[in-house]
Amino acid sequence: MTESLRLEDAVAVLKRTPETLNSLLAGLPDTWIKATEGPATWSPYDVIGHLIHGERTDWIPRARHILAGETRPFEPFDRTAQFRESAGKTLTELLATFTDLRRQNVSVLEKMNLGDEDLNRRGLHPELGDVTLGQLIATWVVHDLDHIAQITRTMAKVYRETTGPWSAYLSILRDRQR
Amino acid sequence: MTESLRLEDAVAVLKRTPETLNSLLAGLPDTWIKATEGPATWSPYDVIGHLIHGERTDWIPRARHILAGETRPFEPFDRTAQFRESAGKTLTELLATFTDLRRQNVSVLEKMNLGDEDLNRRGLHPELGDVTLGQLIATWVVHDLDHIAQITRTMAKVYRETTGPWSAYLSILRDRQR
């Protein structure tokens, strides 16, 4: 049995993510935006494209799938769609797209008027098996927070050498790549 | 020899941190603000107090110390001052104080008009020994990013159980505590 979700707590975070990302990234030089943690890791620019793909294909579509009582598994999520879909777009465009999509999706979520019974409804994840709507929404929140952490970790590592002896105190410089 | 610092890149991040933290945290319920990762770890509320203490006693005072040609070591930094200094203050007050102090400090930094020669000037850290002004400023930036990551990691762990089977995909839920 997992802990139950208070929907207003989840929505409070989901609503804030676009502005957090705008405040953190809008107008920054490419030194920060295009930095990665090494081969096969994502830049802040890549992450915003990934978040956009999630708004389009993951969270709300899967919530609807559960509420429709679908017994087939969810469509698998494409974790690298952003490399195709972000092509040619500026970070400013991507941030604006993400902001729009998130606003629409939070509005859809609020209009679903979900009660505890709805949050306990189940869907079938293609790899993980049985999951609930509440778990899906909690995952949406943690996924946002995980990617904000990833962006700041990636940016921090731009200065891995530049901090000199202080790097001994800055554990983020040695954190996992992903 | 460490990499040299482009001051405008550092300032671009330093300037954005207050708005990032405001966007992420202002108005959130205590579920998020007062959460910790366990005993002896910091809540988002604690982190903002720590950042305030850094603005007052660490970055600019140490930059001035180096530019004054001081040969004595820097004053040690008090890593737990916030537990005393934040007492009785709301998060809103702390965010406003941090925003003001950071604006003032970035303005002081810009007025220092630092060139490469200045960035290579040395000071004595009480534990780390010889450090440069450029390394100090890079550390200021990474310290911001590290604490933003810490805040999002701490918030994510509020939903450690709530994500159910998805926790297998959310590596942030298993990241270090600190």
Averaged pLDDT for residues B113-118: 96
* Complex-level ipTM: 0.96
B10 in Cβ contact with B141 (< 8 Å): yes
Instruction: Find the residue in A nearest to B141 (Cα).
Output: A156
Give A83-148 as a DSSP string: HHHTTT--HHHHHHHHHHHHHHHHHHHHHT---HHHHT-EEEETTTEEEEHHHHHHHHHHHHHHHH
CA distance A85 to A105: 19
Report the b/e string of B10-45 with b at 16+ CB within 10 A.
bebbbbbbbbbbbbbbeebeebbbebbbeeeebbbb
- pLDDT tens-digit profile of A48-86? 999 999 999 999 999 999 999 999 999 998 889 989 998
- pLDDT tens-digit profile of A101-152? 999 999 999 999 999 999 999 999 999 999 999 999 999 999 999 999 999 9
Residue A121 has what pLDDT? 97
Residue A3 has what pLDDT? 62
Q: Is B130 helix (H, G, I), strand (E, B) or coil?
A: strand
- pLDDT tens-digit profile of B36-82? 999 999 999 999 999 999 999 999 999 999 999 999 999 998 889 98
| Per-residue confidence band for A1, with pLDDT thresholds at 50, 70 and 90 | very low
- What is each CA distance from A17 to A142, B14, B84, in whole angstroms? 11, 19, 31
Instruction: Find the residue in A nearest to B162 (Cα).
Output: A3
Please state, as a whole number, how many other Cβ atoms lie within 10 Å of the Cβ of residue A18.
24
Q: Is A120 on the interface with B (CB under 8 A)?
A: no
DSSP H or E run through B19: helix B7-25
Question: Which of A47, A152, A160 has the most B C-beta neighbours within 10 Å, making it the best mutation to test the interface with B?
Answer: A152
Averaged pLDDT for residues A40-54: 96
Is the pTM of the predicted complex or chain greater than 0.90?
yes
- A54 closest CA partner among A111, A14, A112, A91: A14
Q: Which residue has the higher pLDDT, B83 or B9?
A: B9
- B98 closest CA partner among B164, B133, B169, B148: B148
Residue A20 has what pLDDT? 98
List all residues 6 or more positions away from A137 whose beta carbon is below 8 Å from its beta carbon.
Answer: A5, A7, A10, A59, A63, A109, A119
Instruction: Find the residue in A nearest to B151 (Cα).
Output: A149
Interface subset of B 125-164, CB within 8 angstroms of A: 125, 128-132, 134-136, 138-139, 141-143, 145-146, 148-149, 152-153, 155-156, 159, 161-164
Q: Which two tokens stand for residue B29?
A: 């319920």
The region of weakest confidence among A73-77, B19-23, B172-176 is B172-176
Q: Is A160 helix (H, G, I), strand (E, B) or coil?
A: coil
